[in-house]
Amino acid sequence: MKLFDGGRAPNPRRVRVFLAEKGIDVTIVPVDMGAMGHKAEEITSRNPLQRLPVLELDDGTILTESIAICRYFEELHPEPPLFGTGALGKAVVEMWQRRMEFNLLGCVAQAFRHTHPAMKDWEVPQVPEWGEANRPKAMAFMELLDKELADREFIAGDAYTVADITGLIAVDFMKPARIAIPDGLDNLVRWHKAVSSRPSANA
């Protein structure tokens, strides 16, 4: 199998961090998104949405969407469990994974895509007002998350999960989006420092 990868873009990075946590080696096919490589025929023929990552299995089956790809590998390699264990544990991880995706990563992405000058040819139409509207949403969610992290080490409980991966990528993506962690959110800062120190964070 081979993974068409988009470098430091958030969603390709989510999959690479997940694979690193699992200790799984997959053939990586680099795609230069800066040169619009994701819109080339090599990717378009595999994913008409022209988005990365794209996983191509040995039989030619194509999987897209970062969390779908991660779930595939979770089924093949259940240890360590990054989507939780047991009915309740899996539900809690799913809850927090979606919260991190919709309330933090999504808001940061919209702020970046709709306000950064480099994205004007990517996000058409670019609506700066929408980008700015997402900044306070991200800030408010970080305040909520800081309170949650007062009582536990990781986002979904006592174990590192895919929710932490999405959170790590979201917070790191805040820099190009020109969003900073508000002062006083010590629990969030502590968590981010811890997950950033894991070897997988460099994947």
Task: Please list, in sequence order, all residues whose beta carbon lies within 8 angstroms of the beta carbon of residue 197, skipping any fewer than 6 positions away.
Answer: none
Percent of the chain having pLDDT more than 70?
Answer: 100
Residues 72 and 130 in one domain: no
pLDDT score at 114: 97
State the pLDDT confidence band at 170, using cuts at 50, 70 and 90.
very high
Tell me if 81 is assigned to some domain.
Answer: no
pLDDT tens digits, one per residue of 48-66: 999 999 999 999 999 999 9
**Within 10 Å of residue 150's Cβ, how many Cβ atoms?**
10
pLDDT tens digits, one per residue of 18-58: 999 999 999 999 999 989 999 999 999 999 999 999 999 99
pLDDT tens digits, one per residue of 104-124: 999 999 999 999 999 988 899
Whether the pLDDT of residue 73 is over 90: the answer is yes
- Structural domain of residue 114, as residue ranges? 86-202
pLDDT score at 121: 87
| Tokens, residue 155 | 């986002």
Q: What average pLDDT does the chain have?
A: 97
Residues 24 and 100 in one domain: no
Residues 91 and 179 in one domain: yes
pLDDT score at 35: 92
Residues 72 and 114 in one domain: no
The number of folded domains in the chain is: 2
> What does the DSSP assignment read for the chain?
-EEEE-TTSHHHHHHHHHHHHHT---EEEE--GGGTGGGSHHHHTT-TT--S-EEE-TTS-EEESHHHHHHHHHHH--SS-SS-SHHHHHHHHHHHHHHHIIIIIHHHHHHHHHH-GGGTTTSSS--HHHHHHHHHHHHHHHHHHHHHTTS-SBTTBSS--HHHHHHHHHHHHHHHHT--PPTT-HHHHHHHHHHHTSGGGG-
Q: What is the mean pLDDT of residues 74-91?
A: 98
pTM: 0.97
